[in-house]
């Protein structure tokens, strides 16, 4: 859960997640939304992948990013449990 919230702590990564809610996007399509260098975008993608918030598939030379909503749902559920006094570590 910590990796998920760490990944979501940055506004660029939150925007990527929001865009991916609409469906898979290529790395290039996502990068066009930001005025950032390719290495910076790659670092954001890597952080989201490490937290398992996104998964990738390859179509030819194109890498598509997909939102892994189940991880997000689990993290939000854990957060709500925590807020209600639960003890999910």
Q: What is the pTM of this model?
A: 0.83
Contact (CB, 8 A) for 46 and 74: no
Q: Which parts of the chain fold into alpha helices (H)?
A: 2-7, 11-20, 27-31, 38-50, 69-83
Average pLDDT, the chain: 89
N-term to C-term CA, the chain: 8
How do residues 28-60 score in pLDDT, each as one tens digit? Answer: 999 999 999 999 999 999 999 999 999 999 999
How would residue 88 be classed by pLDDT, with cut points 50, 70 and 90? very low
Domains and CATH numbers, the chain: 2-83 (1.10.10.10)
């Amino acid at each position: 859960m910590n990796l998920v919230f760490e990944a979501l702590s940055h506004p660029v990564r939150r925007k990527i997640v929001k865009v991916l809610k609409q469906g898979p996007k290529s790395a290039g399509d996502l990068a066009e939304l930001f005025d950032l260098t390719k290495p910076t975008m790659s670092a954001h993608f890597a952080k989201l992948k490490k937290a398992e918030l996104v998964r990738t598939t390859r179509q030819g030379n194109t890498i598509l990013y997909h939102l892994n909503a189940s991880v997000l749902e689990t993290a939000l559920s854990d957060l709500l449990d925590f807020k209600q006094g639960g003890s999910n570590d």
